[in-house]
């Protein structure tokens, strides 16, 4: 039987007020100096002076910021402004979904809601900027998914590429990051669902319907195709909740 250390419960390792002040100070330094992702931060000694903190406090703050991808520590090279990924969000949401297991798929349902709302809300914008090259790429990916599903094979990576390609013409990095982040959460948690073999083929075929609607330049048809695309996963979630 696993035991829990009572001392650890009484003294959880949570960032204290001072540590959070130093974290805020370093973030403020990045903003005030208009540093960009990939820019080198000052040395540890210079950061200590800039934020008025000890070396140990700065080191702890950098660890926290590194975990959030706000900074990136490259040993032997220094500390750099991070690429601001959503990895921390993905890990947190995925863990919540896996922790709930098969008894509660509330988190997965919320992720599907967000993905559908995002894609449907941008339907008209996607159509307005979609060029022939992107349409051709989307068509190729949709055909590949149908082919793989027909063989009873997984098409996760192709699905990921499809949804990123759908959003790519918008030229909005945050939208691309959100799309990938929520896709990753769904990909991690969805295997806990019980799915029927035909669900995979239906899902693949509905990617083709998304391409057809986008190519036709019909925003309403695209919104409808997106909703149909998410219907099988919603059915699987409902099945899991009822079982």
Question: Same domain for 62 and 117?
Answer: no
Q: What is the CATH number of the domain that holds 76?
A: 1.10.10.10
pLDDT of residue 173: 85
pLDDT of residue 8: 40
pLDDT of residue 238: 83
Question: Same domain for 45 and 96?
Answer: no
pLDDT of residue 14: 47
pLDDT of residue 16: 58
pLDDT of residue 49: 94
Helix (H, G, I), strand (E, B) or coil at 40: strand
Number of domains making up the chain: 2
What pTM was estimated for this model as a whole? 0.69
Which CA distances in Å does 16 have to 19, 21, 84?
A: 5, 9, 24
Cβ count within 10 A of residue 154? 12
Q: Which residues of the chain have pLDDT under 50?
A: 1-15, 103
Q: What is the CATH number of the domain that holds 146?
A: 1.20.120.530
pLDDT of residue 58: 94
Question: Same domain for 10 and 103?
Answer: no
pLDDT of residue 239: 79
pLDDT of residue 99: 60
Integer Cα distance of 67 and 227 in angstroms: 35
Q: Which domain holds residue 208?
A: 87-242
Beta strands in 2-152 (DSSP E): 71-74, 78-81
């Amino acid at each position: 039987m696993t035991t829990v250390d009572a001392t650890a419960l009484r003294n959880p390792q949570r960032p204290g007020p001072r540590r959070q002040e130093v974290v805020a100070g370093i973030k403020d330094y990045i903003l005030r100096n208009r540093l960009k992702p990939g820019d080198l931060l000052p040395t540890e000694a210079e950061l200590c002076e800039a934020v008025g903190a000890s070396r140990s406090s700065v080191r702890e703050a950098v660890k926290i910021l590194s975990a959030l991808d706000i900074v990136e520590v490259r040993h032997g090279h220094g500390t750099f402004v991070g690429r601001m990924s959503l990895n921390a969000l993905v890990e947190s949401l995925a863990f919540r979904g896996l922790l709930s297991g098969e008894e509660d798929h509330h988190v997965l349902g919320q992720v599907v809601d967000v993905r559908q709302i995002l894609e449907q809300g941008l339907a008209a914008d996607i159509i307005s900027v979609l060029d022939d090259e992107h349409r051709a790429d989307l068509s190729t990916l949709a055909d590949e998914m149908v082919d793989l599903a027909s063989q009873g094979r997984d098409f996760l990576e192709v699905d990921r590429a499809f949804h990123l390609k759908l959003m790519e013409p918008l030229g909005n990095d945050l939208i691309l990051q959100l799309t990938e982040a929520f896709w990753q959460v769904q990909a991690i948690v969805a295997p806990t669902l019980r799915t029927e073999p035909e669900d995979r083929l239906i899902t693949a075929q509905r990617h083709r319907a998304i391409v057809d609607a986008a190519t036709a330049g019909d925003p309403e048809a695209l919104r409808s195709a997106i909703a149909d695309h998410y219907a099988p996963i919603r059915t699987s979630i409902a099945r899991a909740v009822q079982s």
